[in-house]
Chains A and B, each alone.
Chain A
Amino acid sequence: MPENFGDDVFEVAQRIVAHSRYYAGRMGSFFFTRLRDEKKILGVRCDKCNRVLWPPRSTCGRCFSELSEENLVEIGPEGTLEAFTLVTYCEPIHPRQAPFVYGIIRLDRADTGIVHFIGGLDFEKAKIGMRVRPVFAETRRGNILDIDHFEPL
C-alpha cells in the first residue's frame, strides 16, 4: 500500500452525553424551596465554629457538628464580590452564552462564598470588594438560577 498519507489526516467528531440527577437533600431542599417561594437565601450556622456556611448542609465540614433545621439562618441578600472572572468564550457546558462574568459573592452574615453570574454592569467596571445584590428570576423552579444574577448596588 502507498505510504503517502497526503493532507487527509483528519479529525473525528464525537460527543459524550451524561444524564444525572442532583439530589439537594434535606438541608439543600430548605434552601431551594425558600429561594423559590420567598426569594430568601438560607445559610446554616455552626455554633461550635461560629461560622455561617452556604449552601446549607447537615454536617459542619470543619468540626463535624450535626446541623439541623434550627441552625438555618437567612443570609444576604446583599453581599460583597470577592473574586471574579470574565468569560469570553463559549463552551457547551456553560449555562449561558459568553461574554459573562462569574463571581464569588460573600453574602452578608455568611462566612463562605457563592459562585454566580455578575450582571447589570459594564464588565470592565467589575471590582473586588464591590457591593452586590441578587436579581431573582421571574419564574422560579427551585434551582440556583432562581437567582438570575447579582448586580451592583
Chain B
Amino acid sequence: MPSEERGRELISIPMTVEVPYRFAAGKYMTKFLMELRDNGKFYGIRCPVCKRVQMPPRIVCAVCHVQNTEWIELSHEGTLVGFTIMYLPLTDPTTGKPHEPPFSYGSVRLDGSDSVIDHMLNIEPDIDKIRVGMRMKAVLRPREQRVGDLSDIVYFDPISQ
C-alpha cells in the first residue's frame, strides 16, 4: 500500500508465505497419535535406565542414550507447571490460522509423566485467575472429530477443587 512521505510516494508490498508440509510421525509418535485419536488415551514411554517417562514419546532416551520400550498410559489429569498470557496471535500449525489473543497458554505435566505438554488453557486470560500448581484436565475433541494430531486436544480445563 502506498504512503506519502514529504510529498513522495513510498511503496511497500504485503507478502504472505504459506507453506503446507507433512512430517512423518515415526513409529513412536504414530502410536501416540493413534492412541489419542482412536482411544482418547495418552501414552508416554519409560526409559529402562533412568525410569523417567517421556510424553510425547521418543525412541531414544536423550539422557541415557538407550532405547525406550515400556509404554505407560497416562492420566488425563495433571498439574500446571508454567503459564503465560499470550497477547500476540499464535499460528496454529494444524490450520495455519492465528489463535486470537489474548488467551492463556501453559505447560501441563500429566500425572505419571516427567515431561510437560504445552497447550491452550481454558482459563480467562487474567493473571489473578491462573497459578502454578493448579490441577488441570485435558479436553479432547469428540471421537468422530479427532484427526490424529495435537489439535485433538482442545485445551486444558482447570479442575475445580
Q: Which residues in A have some Cβ–Cβ distance to B below 8 Å?
A: 1, 3, 5, 8-26, 28-29, 32-33, 92-93, 142-143
> A92 to B16, alpha carbons, bound, how many Å?
11
A-B contact pairs, 5 of them (CB 8 A): A1-B43, A11-B22, A12-B25, A17-B91, A22-B12
Contact for B96 among A3, A8, A16, A20, CB less than 8 A: A16
Let me know if B10 and A16 touch, CB within 8 A.
no
Assess whether B63 is interfacial by the CB under 8 Å rule: no
Let me know if B23 and A17 touch, CB within 8 A.
no
Let me know if A15 and B30 touch, CB within 8 A.
no
> A26 to B7, alpha carbons, bound, how many Å?
12
> A18 to B91, alpha carbons, bound, how many Å?
9
Let me know if B19 and A10 touch, CB within 8 A.
no
Let me know if B18 and A15 touch, CB within 8 A.
yes
Q: Which residues of A contact B2 (CB under 8 A)?
A: 142
> A143 to B96, alpha carbons, bound, how many Å?
26
Let me know if A29 and B10 touch, CB within 8 A.
yes
Q: Which residues of A contact B14 (CB under 8 A)?
A: 19-22
Let me know if B13 and A143 touch, CB within 8 A.
yes
Q: 5 extra interchain contacts, Cβ-Cβ under 8 A, other than A13-B149, A18-B18?
A: A9-B25, A11-B24, A18-B16, A33-B9, A92-B18
Let me know if A13 and B20 touch, CB within 8 A.
yes
Using known A-B contacts A9-B30, A13-B149, determine if residue A20 contacts B19 with beta carbons closer than 8 Å.
no
Q: Which residues of A contact B97 (CB under 8 A)?
A: 17
> A63 to B2, alpha carbons, bound, how many Å?
31
> A15 to B149, alpha carbons, bound, how many Å?
13
Q: Which residues of B contact A92 (CB under 8 A)?
A: 18-20
Let me know if A23 and B12 touch, CB within 8 A.
yes
Contact for B10 among A11, A19, A24, A93, CB less than 8 A: A24
Assess whether B50 is interfacial by the CB under 8 Å rule: no
Nearest CB of A to B146, in Å: 13
Q: Which residues of A contact B71 (CB under 8 A)?
A: 1
Assess whether B15 is interfacial by the CB under 8 Å rule: yes
> A26 to B33, alpha carbons, bound, how many Å?
52
> A20 to B15, alpha carbons, bound, how many Å?
5
> A26 to B9, alpha carbons, bound, how many Å?
9
